[in-house]
Amino acid sequence: MSITPDYILDASGLLCPEPVMLLHNRIRDIAVGETLQIQATDPSTERDIPRFCVFLGHELLEHIAVDGQYIYIIRKLASD
């Protein structure tokens, strides 16, 4: 990852919809412009997290998938 996030959320081992629910709760607590890295093992996050960002107006900065780990870095652009 080329971006150092302000916060990290580990949702490894959790299944849909838990990773997105945790993400939704956590992103409320950070300031607009800050970044959050979420780590997950559920492949459905590859669909769900980009949709979450589009729907709520946040920016997906990076997304990598390696060896069953899915890592996303999101910049909060909208206040909830």
CA distances from 38 to 6, 12, 64 (A): 11, 9, 11
Identify whether the C-beta of residue 9 lies closer than 8 Å to the C-beta of residue 38.
Answer: yes
CATH of residue 34's domain is 3.30.110.40
1, part of any domain: no
63, part of any domain: yes
Residue 78 has pLDDT above 90, yes or no: no
16 included as an active-site residue: yes
Q: Name the pLDDT band for 54 (thresholds 50, 70, 90).
A: very high
Residue 5 has pLDDT above 70, yes or no: yes
Residue 24 sits in which domain range?
Answer: 7-75
Task: Give per-residue pLDDT as tens, 6-41.
Answer: 999 999 999 999 999 999 999 999 999 999 999 999
Mean pLDDT estimate for the chain: 95
68, part of any domain: yes
DSSP for the chain, please give it: --S--SEEEEETT--TTHHHHHHHHHHHTS-TT-EEEEEE--TTHHHHHHHHHHHHT-EEEEEEEETTEEEEEEE--S--
Residue 80 has pLDDT above 70, yes or no: no
54, part of any domain: yes
pTM, to two decimals: 0.94
Domains in the chain: how many in total?
Answer: 1
Catalytic residue among 7, 14, 16, 63: 16
